[in-house]
Structure 1
Amino acid sequence: MLRLKSTSFWLGLALVSTHQVTEAAGFALSEQSGSGLGNAFAGAAAVAEDASTIFFNPAGMTYLEGRQIVGAVNLINVRGNFDNQGSQAARNPSLNGEGGNLGSFAAIPNLYYKQDINDQLKIGLGIGSPFGLKTEYDNNWIGRFQAIKSELKTVNINPSLAWKLNDQWSLGFGVSAMWAQAELTSAVNLGAAESSIKTKGDDWGFGYNLGAIYQVTPDTRLGLAFRSKVDQHLKGEARSPFTLANASPSSTLNADITADLSLPETLSLSSFSRLDDRWELLTDITWTRWSRFKALSIMRDNGSNTAIGTTQEHWNNTLRYSVGLNYHYSDTLKLKTGIAYDQEAIDKQHRTPRIPGNDRIWLSLGASWQYSHETKLDVGYAHLFIQEASIYDDQRALTPSRGLVAGQYNGSADILSLQFNHQF
């Protein structure tokens, strides 16, 4: 009976870690627009280039005429490797690999629709994935008791409204219905045997976003946008195959568990300036309140309202800075570039194998081709230089079975976005 209680405790802690999966800072995804990637999303809350402004600043819909549909796919390839520097295996010393490439490939779609109610009032709908991604190690790596596979998926449905007050001011408002699903696998010590656990949970949460654009001069505008937190109350199951005395080898241990998660709010300040007939300058600063993640608790989902376990996080608020340039090569072709510095929310003292990321620099290129009066095609590419990240995750005081993971992480990422824009 003691063994079952101990296992339930670790299954609960496993679900806590599931939420800590990403390629961007914390577990946010910036890739919400194919047209914005070429500028490293500089000026995103002010540029109002197409209906993807619904996500970045709904007030930007007032700069778009008629009906418009935008569809994009963002192809993300993340690479990461662990360099062992003093890790200590929990058991089975022969299983001490470094995990292989812990990165993954993902295709993230976006879809937006916008139409006019009248000259001052616009409505729109955006569908995308603001948070998530995946890391996965080899099953026999030295830190398998801390992590093997971690995956977070989200879908956000975002109806929005924009109102043009006058020639200088535009305001926007939207609501968000966000579905989140988290999944984790890792090794677990069940008495004399080594086995594995898998946890999975999901939920719907709700929030809102606000935006304003001020037209400073005919050639310059400023955008301010806020996205609220979205509270999730994940419910799921933890499952581990194992063998008990007097039980068949196919016996499994199931535990119903819940975890509260707040996806953080963001505040963005952007500018867009037309320098002359050819050049445009875009800037952006985005703040994210990751400091909400001080600790995550897992509760038993059996009506007792008792905690299974708590993981300390102590994440930090972050800033993302970006600058972009556009060059109008011709009436139908616009060339783009951008650079961004993206802070990580996690410091060395609290880094785990679930999220081994660090600060990153974005270098982006892109192009926009006006194929016809109604149709425009965008392509964007970005390479992310991720700073080397050190880790010292010692779980031996908590339980000897989890061991010590110590070393360095190296990684990078490439993003390719393709976008189709059609005006009705």
Structure 2
Amino acid sequence: MCIRFVVLTVALALATAGLAQGAGFALIEQSVTGLGNAFAGSTASAQDATTIFYNPAGMTLLPGQQVIAGLHYVAPSAKFQKTEARNALGLDISGGNGGDGGESGLVPNLFHSVNPGGRLAFGLGITAPFGLTTEYPFDWVGRYHAVKSDLKTININPSLAFKVTDRLSLGAGVSAQYIDVQLTSMVDFGLAAFQQSGGNPALLPLVSNHDADVYADLNADDWGAGYNLGLLYEISDQTRIGLAYRSRILHTLKGDAGFTLVNQAFLAGAGLDGAALARFSPQGISGKVELPASASLGFFSQLTPAWAVMADVMWTDWSSFDELLIQFDGTLAATPSLTTENWDDNWRYAIGASFTPGETWILRLGLAYDETPIPDAFRTPRIPGEDRFWTAIGGGYRLNENVRFDLAYVHLFVRDSKVMRAAAGEDLSRGSLFGSYDNAVDILSGQLTCSF
């Protein structure tokens, strides 16, 4: 059973590993046991090999070897309601509200820890710490801002832990991280043609006309490197605190841009298909994405043989995400694509409790509050997140001495978010977009743990 589940998880990690519903586009969902407690105390609990991600120092508390494979089904909802959408000429942009921009998918993770019984332990984690998937119809009202946004990461994280004293353990790891990004949108070629003609009234019917749009499809990827550190201190045999840090990882993206005329015959009728094909020719792209550092402080206490409580506070350095700039190396070299982000650092707070009525079962509960890093003035349809309140429940069943299965379910109550993009500056060609999102997220997860 363990081998089959591990193989399935690895295959899914290579195939999916995207779609985020942490604050921003971080994925904190790297443990099903932790999810049941809303990840409260994740840096201090060290209850299984998933501690490799949250605090590698915790591996000193795990005897023998463990292999863990987990799958998280994330079902976000992001329904937009327009209040205004106008182009640079002040004319209304056609199109619907875009339906539900949230895209459901799987987030896998895999861990292996080894503790030979001395002071040294080591392990390997394969995770997807960042991801994003939103998608709208080609003809929706915000199509010049975004159609599809798909960011996937795979993080390979070998780690070591050392028990310095009977109470203090230290851990460290390095990360090799792969990122793959796809960003698509429509280009208002009718508006560009009208402006370049000096305002030829014959071209006015083409402005913000979907038949005159050009579909832009940008794809890029990269490998980057980082590190993580951890400290675990046992105040007593029942109580401990943990501190962990993950570094920034800079990705220098390179890839290709492809373009498609939505209705070439329509543009040909206006005598503009040749100009559109010449300007929007396939070409290379480049850009930089700096994924943020984070730090966590956690607390865990086994109050009685049956009851444990835990808490956690986490900081993420989202202020490093200040802009998304895509450079072109062909016909569009003089007009790079810029989206100013100006995100803020954010904080996450969590509390939880676990109840173990016997040797077979464990029940978990948790609550968390997750601040958004996105200022209202800089929110885009690509990432329409807001503050989130987590309610979590989970449980585990030990099949035998070596095999345990865990389940968890979380609902995220997400505040309605606002989009306030004016048709000026970098959004002059995209047009204005004002409205609000009705957001929510559900997560259902399963995990198999094999000890030997």
| Partner residue in 2 for 1:161 | 160
Paired residues, what number?
A: 404
SS in 1 for 2:177: strand
Query: Distance between the aligned counterparts of 2:138 and 2:337, measured in 1?
Result: 25
Query: Distance between the aligned counterparts of 1:276 and 1:58, measured in 2?
Result: 26
Query: Distance between the aligned counterparts of 1:125 and 1:23, measured in 2?
Result: 24
Letter aligned with residue 101 of structure 1: D
Q: 8 Å contact 1:174–1:209 — kept in the other structure? A: yes
- Residue among 409, 419, 439 paired with 1:381: 409
Letter aligned with residue 151 of structure 2: L
CA offset digits 1:308-357 (Å, max 9, x no partner): 35432211000000000001122211100000000111011111111111
SS in 2 for 1:46: helix
Q: 8 Å contact 1:21–1:355 — kept in the other structure? A: no
Show structure 2 runs of 5+ residues with no match.
1-17, 194-205, 207-211
- Residue among 194, 205, 214 paired with 2:213: 194
Q: Does 1:333 align with 2:361?
A: yes
| Partner residue in 1 for 2:45 | 47
TM-fit CA distance, 1:294: 2.2
Query: Distance between the aligned counterparts of 2:292 and 2:35, measured in 1?
Result: 22
| Partner residue in 2 for 1:10 | none
Of Structure 1 and Structure 2, the greater strand share is in 1
- In structure 2, do the counterparts of structure 1 residues 312 and 331 end up closer, same or farther at CA, with 3 Å as the change threshold? same
Q: Does 1:216 align with 2:216?
A: no
Q: 8 Å contact 2:85–2:92 — kept in the other structure? A: no
SS in 2 for 1:331: coil
- In structure 2, do the counterparts of structure 1 residues 397 and 294 end up closer, same or farther at CA, with 3 Å as the change threshold? closer
Query: Distance between the aligned counterparts of 2:216 and 2:309, measured in 1?
Result: 50
| Partner residue in 1 for 2:56 | 58
| Partner residue in 1 for 2:149 | 150
Query: Distance between the aligned counterparts of 1:90 and 1:343, measured in 2?
Result: 34
- In structure 2, do the counterparts of structure 1 residues 397 and 54 end up closer, same or farther at CA, with 3 Å as the change threshold? closer
| Partner residue in 1 for 2:258 | 239
Q: 8 Å contact 2:73–2:443 — kept in the other structure? A: yes
TM-fit CA distance, 1:250: 8.2
| Partner residue in 1 for 2:395 | 367
CA offset digits 1:14-56 (Å, max 9, x no partner): xxxxxx9842211100100111110000010010111110000
Query: Distance between the aligned counterparts of 1:391 and 1:88, measured in 2?
Result: 14
Letter aligned with residue 366 of structure 1: G
Q: 8 Å contact 1:74–1:107 — kept in the other structure? A: yes
Query: Distance between the aligned counterparts of 1:247 and 1:351, measured in 2?
Result: 35
CA offset digits 1:126-153 (Å, max 9, x no partner): 0010000201112221111001111100
Query: Distance between the aligned counterparts of 2:430 and 2:336, measured in 1?
Result: 17
CA offset digits 1:97-154 (Å, max 9, x no partner): 0000110111011000111244111110000100002011122211110011111000
Query: Distance between the aligned counterparts of 1:316 and 1:368, measured in 2?
Result: 37
- Residue among 6, 22, 25 paired with 1:24: 22
Query: Distance between the aligned counterparts of 1:325 and 1:366, measured in 2?
Result: 11
Rg: which structure is higher?
Answer: 2
Show structure 1 runs of 5+ residues with no match.
1-19
Q: 8 Å contact 2:44–2:298 — kept in the other structure? A: yes
Q: 8 Å contact 2:366–2:392 — kept in the other structure? A: yes
Letter aligned with residue 222 of structure 1: I
CA offset digits 1:363-421 (Å, max 9, x no partner): 00000111111011111110000001112111345465422111111110000110000
Q: Does 1:109 align with 2:121?
A: no
Q: 8 Å contact 1:348–1:390 — kept in the other structure? A: yes
Q: Does 1:296 align with 2:294?
A: no
Letter aligned with residue 337 of structure 1: L
Query: Distance between the aligned counterparts of 2:157 and 2:72, measured in 1?
Result: 19
Letter aligned with residue 387 of structure 2: D
Query: Distance between the aligned counterparts of 1:143 and 1:333, measured in 2?
Result: 49
TM-fit CA distance, 1:94: 7.5
Calculate the TM-score normalised by the size of structure 2.
Answer: 0.85
TM-fit CA distance, 1:186: 0.8
Query: Distance between the aligned counterparts of 1:69 and 1:404, measured in 2?
Result: 51
Query: Distance between the aligned counterparts of 2:19 and 2:397, measured in 1?
Result: 35
SS in 2 for 1:61: helix
SS in 2 for 1:217: coil
TM-fit CA distance, 1:301: 4.8
Calculate the TM-score normalised by the size of structure 1.
Answer: 0.90
SS in 2 for 1:111: strand
| Partner residue in 2 for 1:203 | 222
Q: 8 Å contact 1:286–1:320 — kept in the other structure? A: yes
TM-fit CA distance, 1:96: 2.1
RMSD value over aligned CA atoms?
Answer: 2.3
